[in-house]
């Protein structure tokens, strides 16, 4: 069962889609690990045990902290989102997709790890084997979360929507099967086009898929439109998780949560917050309105 409340991490990395000024303020506020941990600890101690983390460099620091303090976080559950696309953008532009993957996968490896990758099929990268490449990329990204409890591994929305646009079914099928087989957890997919992705995943044979999407009352980051989302959410052949429910602060919290939880009857919500009072207020609203 998906967690009702999942705490997101965008605020820790200076992400605000509405305001560059707010993004810069967040980046400065969480410039060191201590400030990030302070908010995580407050959320955890308030009863939020599930956290969504993007696989960027700060996530490594956070996960190292969790591992070093495993007794404190005995109930912690992670929902990783992979891969973090920004770190590949320049490499791909400079070297092409397969050379970029090769350089990324081999970066920082000792010789023992290098031979492990070769045994797993790392040479397939050099032969342009896209499925082996996908598995190696997943393994490299998931190494950040080693030893921690995982419930769902999400394919990040930029990658999901690119592959959706290209109509590449085999990658979705192979990703889902690999996550279940290798990591013994469920695959999830983040998107900015919920109706299209839901239909596509069902066509791929991925039953009752977990899909995380921006869902909010004003249609912010909702494609193609809010009406299409509302129609799709009335169907019960997938498991939705709502994110961006406040539309980067454009919607009053009670209105936002009542719409998502009571009107749309969504049972799982991701939210981020940089202030402790907002964490408590949002948690209480979700608990009140989400069945």
Domains of the chain: 5-85+147-289 (3.20.20.100), 86-146 (no CATH)
Contact in structure between 194 and 164 (CB atoms under 8 Å): no
pLDDT at 13: 74
pLDDT one-digit tens code per residue, 261-271 = 999 999 999 99
Tokens, residue 12:
């820790």
Q: How many other C-beta atoms are found inside a 10 Å radius of the C-beta of residue 74?
A: 8
Provide CB contacts within 8 A for 2, sequence distance 6+: 151, 152, 210, 239, 241, 267, 268
From the list 253, 235, 237, the residue with the least C-alpha distance to 245 is 253
pLDDT at 108: 47
For the chain, the average pLDDT equals: 86
Residue 20 has pLDDT above 80, yes or no: no
pLDDT tens-digit series, residues 177-232: 999 999 999 999 999 999 999 999 999 999 999 999 999 999 999 999 999 999 99
Q: What is the pLDDT of residues 142-190, one digit of tens each?
A: 999 999 999 999 999 989 999 999 998 999 999 999 999 999 999 999 9
SS (H, E, C) 203-265: HCCCCCCEEEEECCCCCCCCCCCHHHHHHHHCCCCCEEEEECCCCCCCCCHHHHHHHHHHHCC
Q: Is 199 exposed, middle or buried (0-12, 13-18, 19+ CB in 10 A)?
A: middle
Residue among 232, 244, 258, 254 at smallest CA distance from 6: 244
Q: Which residue has the tokens 């995580």?
A: 40
């Amino acid at each position: 069962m998906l967690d009702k409340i999942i705490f997101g991490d965008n605020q820790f990395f200076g992400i605000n889609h509405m305001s560059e000024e707010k993004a810069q303020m967040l980046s400065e506020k969480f410039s060191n690990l201590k400030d990030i941990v302070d908010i995580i600890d407050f959320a955890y101690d308030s009863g939020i045990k599930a956290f969504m983390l993007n696989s960027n460099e700060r996530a490594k620091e956070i996960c190292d902290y969790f591992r070093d303090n495993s007794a404190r976080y005995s109930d912690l559950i992670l929902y990783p989102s992979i891969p973090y696309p920004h770190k590949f953008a320049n490499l791909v532009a400079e070297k092409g997709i397969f050379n970029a993957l090769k350089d990324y996968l081999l970066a920082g490896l000792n010789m023992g790890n290098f031979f492990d990758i070769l045994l797993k099929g790392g040479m397939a990268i050099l032969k342009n084997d896209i499925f082996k490449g996908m598995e190696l990329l997943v393994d490299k990204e998931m190494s950040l979360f080693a030893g921690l409890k995982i419930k769902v591994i999400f394919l990040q929305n930029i990658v999901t929507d690119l592959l959706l646009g290209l109509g590449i079914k085999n990658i979705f099928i192979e990703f889902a099967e690999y996550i279940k087989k290798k990591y013994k957890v469920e695959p999830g997919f983040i998107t900015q086009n919920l109706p299209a992705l839901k239909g596509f995943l069902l066509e791929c044979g991925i039953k009752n898929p977990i899909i995380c999407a921006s869902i909010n009352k004003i249609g912010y980051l909702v494609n193609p439109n809010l009406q299409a989302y509302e129609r799709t959410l009335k169907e019960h052949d997938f498991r939705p998780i709502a994110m961006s429910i406040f539309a980067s602060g454009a919607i009053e919290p009670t209105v936002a949560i009542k719409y998502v939880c009571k009107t749309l009857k969504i049972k799982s919500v991701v939210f981020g917050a940089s202030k402790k009072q907002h964490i408590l207020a949002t948690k209480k609203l979700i608990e009140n309105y989400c069945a």
